[in-house]
Amino acid sequence: MSRILFLLLLTATVSFAAELAVFEGRPDMMSIQPYHDSMQLVYESSDYFVVFTEGDLSELNIRTRILDAGDISLEDYALVTLSSPEGLSTLQGLGETVFHRDGMAIVRLSGPFPEMFQGAGVFFVQPLRTISLEDRTPHQYYTLPMRGTDDDISDIVAAVSEDSIKAFIQHLQDYQTRYSSTDNYDTACDWVQYKFESYGLAAEQQTFPMSGYDCQNVIAELPGVTDSTRIWIICGHLDSTSPSPQTNAPGADDNASGSTAVIEAARILSGYEFNYTLRFVCFGGEEQGLWGSEYYAQQSSALGDDIIGVVNLDMVLYGPAGQDILWVPYNTPSEGLALAMEAICDTYVPALEVDIEYSPGTVYSDHASFWNQGYAAVLGIEQEVYSNPYYHQTTDILANYMQYFPFGTDCIKGAIATVAYLAEPAGGTGVAEGEVPFPHLHILGFSPNPARTTLTVDLGQGYPDGIKVSVFDITGRMVIDGAHTPVSGTVTLDMSSLPSGVYSVRISSGGFAEVRSVVVAR
């Protein structure tokens, strides 16, 4: 009996080295300033939040539940976004789930943080990280000033080219994979930097460490003419993944679409001057856990960069009829930015339906890295992302999204209009009329479609310098690659060796390119 009493007393008085706990409510609704030194906010939802602390949680007069305790550190955990309840079973391969609610789970890892973890019902995995508790005060509840209709913004939106968007996406897809550890990713970074510099922008690659190797972000800047210290950012991640990430991860939607928005923004906005600085950033290491944006945001915070706001695009091509909606989640400091984006899109891209929503728990893309540092940032993403059958698949190719255009174009227009409006145009020559980097090849005919043995492409004119014709199957694998020099302006392709299915045909000549879909039916 005395031994049992001793064990009970020991249990009652033991002091754990650290605790992971969940609180009901919102962190901006309670006074936690005295506990900053010992408490770290690691996850925030609309009605609860999770902290990691080495302090005594009993001192706080608020309902809490201890999730884990002992000799633990943040590095022991992963934060997981679930796309279905099935993901909870999948997570057994990652470690022990210590908490889950509303599509989020925290897992105590059974080993080192994995470079990549995929499985049924698991949408995204990242390290458990701290969220800044600084400046979470009423002055963050601001509303950005609106100036009414701006002719420069209308011209900028009109300059966004769907042909350019498709060609950029196809170019990035043609790398076969942009997985962060591959040479193909490095080559894609070089190309993006080249594009930025070709528009007259100063550009660089920022190196950061991840998973035992170095990776890169690609950054370009257009300095503001009134106050260059205040910065607006448009960004998207450049890397891709799939079940075969080293060899076949085309990543057209995820996230050539977002990277293309950044490149298209640089192409157009470089022709203008703005009162505030604009930065164009393509991040690496996103698929492995937001490593590139986390490094960038941490460095920006350490340097004291005055980032006014960030617009991050990640997957904007999948828009089935009735579901072609751009979803824009935001947290408390980003409310004004979300409201501004909604109003700007309504004014300049009225065909685009934008749904803004307070959702601080939506942290599966690069905007979350800026939230962690206390910056205002929003994500723009297709609303039906969980239903996208090509997500993280080898079938994430442009041909599978052609039917949904102009949804992707409108999303990109909305993002570019937002950062351009808020950076405040101060004049400039704009983009010359007809200046499109990848205009049409004047394709007049594409028949028969469906095709059986041959496919005839009528270009309407000859191309003395020749054209290149590439055909890709639904997995993104090139099945026909040939060069022709048409005289009459027509090209006939032999499709007889191809099995029945859907294919994408890319025709290019110099800086011109066009992508069409064709069905082969036997």
Is residue 360 located within the same domain as residue 304? yes
Is residue 266 located within the same domain as residue 316? yes
Is residue 310 located within the same domain as residue 355? yes
Distance CA 324, CA 210 (A): 35
**Degrees, nearest 5: CA angle 320-323-325:** 115
On whether residue 117 sits in a domain, the answer given is yes
Is residue 170 located within the same domain as residue 258? yes
- Nearest of 252, 382, 258, 254 to residue 324 by alpha carbon: 382
Distance CA 346, CA 390 (A): 29
Is residue 311 located within the same domain as residue 240? yes
Q: What is the CATH number of the domain that holds 417?
A: 3.40.630.10
Of the candidates 362, 389, 423, which is a domain's last residue? 423
Of the candidates 65, 99, 127, which is a domain's last residue? 127
Is residue 360 located within the same domain as residue 509? no
- Nearest of 208, 213, 199 to residue 115 by alpha carbon: 213
pLDDT of amino acid 149: 64
pLDDT of amino acid 137: 32
504 exposed, middle or buried (CB, 10 Å; 0-12, 13-18, 19+)? buried
DSSP string, 167-198: HHHHHHHTTSB--TTSHHHHHHHHHHHHHHHH
Q: Answer yes or no: is pLDDT of 187 > 90.
A: yes
**Degrees, nearest 5: CA angle 363-344-323:** 60
Q: Answer yes or no: is pLDDT of 29 > 70.
A: no
The model's pLDDT over 62-77, given as tens digits with 9 standing for 90+, comes to 668 999 999 999 999 9
Q: Cα dist. 457→94, 405, 506 in Å?
A: 51, 22, 11
On whether residue 264 sits in a domain, the answer given is yes
Distance CA 243, CA 451 (A): 31
3-state SS string for 271-285: CEEECEEEEEEEECC
On whether residue 188 sits in a domain, the answer given is yes
- Nearest of 94, 102, 111, 96 to residue 43 by alpha carbon: 102
Strand pairing category for 512-520 and 122-127: unpaired
pLDDT of amino acid 500: 83
Is residue 122 located within the same domain as residue 169? no
pLDDT of amino acid 1: 41
Kindly report whether the global pTM for this prediction surpasses the value 0.85: no
The model's pLDDT over 110-150, given as tens digits with 9 standing for 90+, comes to 999 999 999 999 999 999 999 987 653 333 334 455 565 67
- Nearest of 208, 210, 200, 270 to residue 234 by alpha carbon: 270
Q: Answer yes or no: is pLDDT of 487 > 80.
A: no
pLDDT of amino acid 506: 75
On whether residue 277 sits in a domain, the answer given is yes
Over residues 393-402, the mean pLDDT reads 96
The model's pLDDT over 469-485, given as tens digits with 9 standing for 90+, comes to 888 776 667 788 877 76
The model's pLDDT over 165-185, given as tens digits with 9 standing for 90+, comes to 999 999 999 999 999 999 999
The model's pLDDT over 49-59, given as tens digits with 9 standing for 90+, comes to 999 988 666 66
pLDDT of amino acid 509: 66
Q: Is 495 helix (H, G, I), strand (E, B) or coil?
A: coil
Is residue 419 located within the same domain as residue 469? no
Count of CB atoms situated within 10 Å of the CB of 465: 8
- Decide which of 161 and 15 is more confident: 161
Largest CA distance in the chain: 101
On whether residue 146 sits in a domain, the answer given is no
Confidence class of residue 439 from pLDDT cuts 50, 70 and 90? very low
Q: Answer yes or no: is pLDDT of 9 > 50.
A: no
On whether residue 328 sits in a domain, the answer given is yes
Confidence class of residue 502 from pLDDT cuts 50, 70 and 90? confident
Lowest average pLDDT, out of 306-320, 401-415, 476-490, goes to: 476-490
Total domains in the fold of the chain: 3
On whether residue 367 sits in a domain, the answer given is yes
The model's pLDDT over 205-233, given as tens digits with 9 standing for 90+, comes to 999 999 889 999 999 999 999 999 999 99
Distance CA 315, CA 423 (A): 24
Return the residue matching tokens 């490095």: 186
On whether residue 136 sits in a domain, the answer given is no
Is residue 412 located within the same domain as residue 452? no
Confidence class of residue 35 from pLDDT cuts 50, 70 and 90? low
Confidence class of residue 11 from pLDDT cuts 50, 70 and 90? very low
Is residue 255 located within the same domain as residue 354? yes
Confidence class of residue 7 from pLDDT cuts 50, 70 and 90? very low
Over residues 360-383, the mean pLDDT reads 97
Over residues 305-324, the mean pLDDT reads 96
Is residue 305 located within the same domain as residue 449? no
Q: Is it true that the peptide bond before 388 is cis, omega within 30 degrees of 0? A: no
Q: Is it true that the peptide bond before 486 is cis, omega within 30 degrees of 0? A: no
Write out the residue range of the structural domain in which residue 512 sits.
445-520
- Nearest of 376, 218, 221 to residue 307 by alpha carbon: 376
Is residue 208 located within the same domain as residue 355? yes
Q: Where are the alpha helices (DSSP H) in 270-406?
A: 291-303, 335-348, 367-372
Of the candidates 98, 127, 156, which is a domain's last residue? 127
Q: Answer yes or no: is pLDDT of 435 > 60.
A: no
Q: How much of the chain exceeds pLDDT 70, in percent?
A: 82
3-state SS string for 239-294: CCCCCCCCCCECCHHHHHHHHHHHHHHHHHHCCEEECEEEEEEEECCCCCCCHHHH
Distance CA 341, CA 497 (A): 49
Over residues 94-123, the mean pLDDT reads 95
pLDDT of amino acid 433: 42
- Decide which of 459 and 311 is more confident: 311
Mean pLDDT across the chain, nearest whole number?
A: 86
